[in-house]
Chain A
Amino acid sequence: MTNKSISAIFAETAEPRLATPGMNRATIFFLIVTVVGLSCGVLSFIFGHHIIYNNTREMPWGMLISTYAFWAITSTGLCIYAAMSHVFGGTRMGIISNRMVWMSIICIMGAFATIGVEIASPHRMLIYNIISPNPTSNIWWMGTLYGMAVGCMIIEFAGIVTGLARIALILGVFGAIAEVLANSCLGGVFATLPARPYWYGAQLPIYFLTAAFLSGAAATILFNVLAYKIRGEKMSHAVHLGVKSAGKAMTLVLILYAVATFWRLVSFYVGGPELGRTAADALISGPLSINFWVIEVCVGLLIPIILIILSRLENVNMMAFAGFLVLVGQFVARYDLVVAGQIVPQNLGWDGLPPFFNYVPSIFEFGVIAGGIGVVAFGFLMGERVFGKTFTQKEHH
């Protein structure tokens, strides 16, 4: 146990080299993006969610829910890889795991910021989640487990920063378990709704976990490469090996994810309810088809695989770009999943309804998305600035 003062701790962890004018400008820029973006969400509390967001009775969930899922899933992935490296060793990602823990916390903050303005009355949630819990509700478990996960990870990170390795290790394991369970419940939120055949089924929670491994690996590559870019330094050999491991993991999971996506869609065309098939049509040939074929398949799956092959897992810049494209693909994949589940009218055939509802996110919804990106980017830069040495200290050992 150390008795170091907080300022002494920060003096050891901070990276003053990063306090350059350019970095400061970037940090302030993303802070402004965060404030302005999330203000769009705050407007919903003033003018009403029904005014600010383009959700309807028929399509109650939109881009804010999908973006929440995207950040939460990415957080889970980062947390799992970090915990596996911490606990089992054996992977070369151990050296970059401190940064992954930090970014896992930051990504879940991005998720919380997004869902915080999506829920109509979050103040009621704070009260009634505790005094009136519903144990059959996936939403309740998901919120509770993500809350526990972030609590564990914050203590874990404090342990890392202060050198309390044992606490960090134990809390890291608990955090990762909570993240996996929370991720599973997030999948369960959708997977247990028989009213929505496009979501309903046992595959979805596993699909979400696969997405977590994919997004987590992509984020690991991207943030580590960026961390060295902003330092203007070449990556050390050990860190390079860690990033390479993440690249291998990303390639493997890309293949698993592509297979899962293929069979998931095929399953709707071999039988089952018409609602599910029509929803799949939305992706294959309907209003979400450009999203699906261009962004999900080409940008998010095929091009990253080609880039990874071309990079031979040596060219980190190319790998980072592949990671970025994977994240773009995953972001759109979450959007398509959430929208496709509701886009087909449940009473199709009545009231002259078209086969697909028309949902376009409002400008305020885009604002909140920007705010979430701002949270993650600001958190990343602040992390490097304040804890930069913690992220790189293992290199010097």
Chain B
Amino acid sequence: MNIEDLEKEKNEGIENLPLLERRKFLQMGLTVTGVFLGGSVLSLTSVSHASDQNTDPEMDIPTDDQYPYPIHYGMVMRQNRCIDCERCVEACKQTNHVPDGHGAYRTAIQERLTTENGSEKREFRPVLCNHCNRPPCVRVCPTKATYKDPETGIVVMDYKKCIGCKTCMAACPYNARYFNHEKYAIDKCNFCIDTRLAEGKKETACTAACPAKVRIFGDLKDKSTEIYHLLHTPDTKIWVLRPDTGALPNVFYMNA
């Protein structure tokens, strides 16, 4: 599925949908997946029973108890706001003691040049662990050294159990894992669960450091959070990275 090509499709909007369909569609929010060319939500995959708008909506609208975790953390990237200042990268490094060199980083800004209407455009894309609902890294770990935190759904590491087989690195669709040569174990973003959330802070270091408010972090279930609001705003085009892998990521991208 090529998101770029799909983005070029004419957006027919959702206003032409029958009222009932439209209501169902909007209600679906996080369960909508795949492509709805007649609508605006490109791909939104956070629950495993997600399906498109043509199936029984009763099956697709998640209620609170259908979320896999009591607090379901996720992140929205408002991609077009990113200016590549890399304060997020630096804040993450300082907060989480990410070592120098040997490919060690928990979050990064990717960059590419595109051409739009004849003029070159520079595009930035922040990336980090997607804390997938069906995380390939967790499944493959032989010793349960990496696992989903049962309270928050965050994919965390238990360093002492890591044998360094690097299968999780091979399995990750997002290149989110690295060999931490100081800890001598594989390491990754953990949404600052130990360095900030444990202290009662509500944001990750990268989110707090971002001057352009690119990153919005929060509980996907909590209707009062900004992330919930963003993900449920009608007529918003939302996508995830590599939806084809079926990992059901919890980091969502939009231009806003």
Contacts and interface: CB of A to CB of B under 8 A. Distances in A.
Interface of A: 48-50, 55-58, 60-61, 119-122, 124-125, 128-129, 132-134, 136-140, 143, 189, 192-196, 273, 341-342, 346-347, 349-352
A133 B169 contact: no
B110 A138 contact: no
A138 B136 CA distance: 12
Contact of A55 (B111, B139, B166): B166
Interface in B144-189: 144-145, 160-167, 169-175, 177-179, 181, 184-185
Interface residues of B, number: 42
B240 interface: no
Given A120-B184, A124-B160, 9 more contacts: A57-B102, A60-B169, A120-B164, A121-B162, A124-B164, A137-B167, A139-B167, A140-B142, A194-B246
Interface string B91-118: 0000000000011100000111000000
A57 B175 contact: yes
B247 A193 contact: no
A346 B175 contact: yes
Contact of B164 (A57, A119, A273, A351): A119
B136 A139 contact: no
Contacts of B229: none
A194 B165 CA distance: 18
B83 interface: no
Contact of B170 (A50, A119, A193): A193
A114 to B, nearest CB: 13
Nearest to A58: B175
Contacts of B174: 346
B140 interface: yes
Contacts of A57: 102-104, 169, 175, 177-179
Contacts of A56: 103
A121 B143 contact: no
A82 B194 CA distance: 54
A273 B244 contact: yes
Contacts of A124: 143, 160-164
Contacts of B171: 193, 195
Nearest to B105: A57
Contacts of A122: 163
A368 B111 CA distance: 38
A184 to B, nearest CB: 16
A137 B111 contact: no
B178 to A, nearest CB: 5
A139 B197 CA distance: 32
Contacts of B136: 193-195
B230 interface: no
A195 B242 contact: yes
Contacts of B125: 350
27 contacts: A55-B166, A56-B103, A57-B169, A57-B175, A57-B178, A119-B164, A120-B164, A120-B165, A121-B162, A121-B163, A121-B164, A124-B162, A125-B142, A125-B143, A128-B143, A128-B144, A132-B143, A132-B161, A192-B139, A194-B136, A194-B247, A195-B170, A195-B242, A342-B170, A346-B242, A347-B110, A347-B175
B231 interface: no
A274 to B, nearest CB: 8
Given A124-B163, A132-B161, A194 B179 contact: no
B32 interface: no
Nearest to A57: B103
Contacts of A351: 110-112
Contact of B173 (A129, A346, A350): A346
Contacts of A350: 110-112, 125
Contacts of A342: 170
Given A58-B103, A124-B143, A194-B136, A50 B181 contact: yes
A346 B146 CA distance: 22
Given A48-B181, A128-B163, A195 B141 contact: no
Nearest to B114: A349
Interface in B66-112: 102-104, 110-112
B141 A134 contact: yes
B140 A193 contact: yes
Contacts of B165: 119-120, 125, 139
Nearest to A136: B139
A60 B170 contact: yes
A193 B170 CA distance: 8
B127 interface: yes
Pairs A-B, 10 closest by C-beta atoms: A120-B164, A57-B103, A195-B173, A128-B143, A140-B142, A60-B166, A60-B169, A125-B163, A350-B110, A194-B245
Query: Which of A55, A120, A122, A346 lies at the interface centre, i.e. has the most chain B CB atoms within 10 A of its CB?
Result: A120
Contacts of B160: 124
Contact of A194 (B103, B144, B173): B173
A351 B166 CA distance: 24
A121 B173 CA distance: 24
Contacts of A60: 166, 169-170, 179
Contacts of B166: 55, 60-61, 120
Query: Which of A60, A132, A133 lies at the interface centre, i.e. has the most chain B CB atoms within 10 A of its CB?
Result: A60
B163 A196 contact: no
Nearest to A125: B163
B164 A134 contact: no
B164 A49 contact: yes
B144 A132 contact: yes
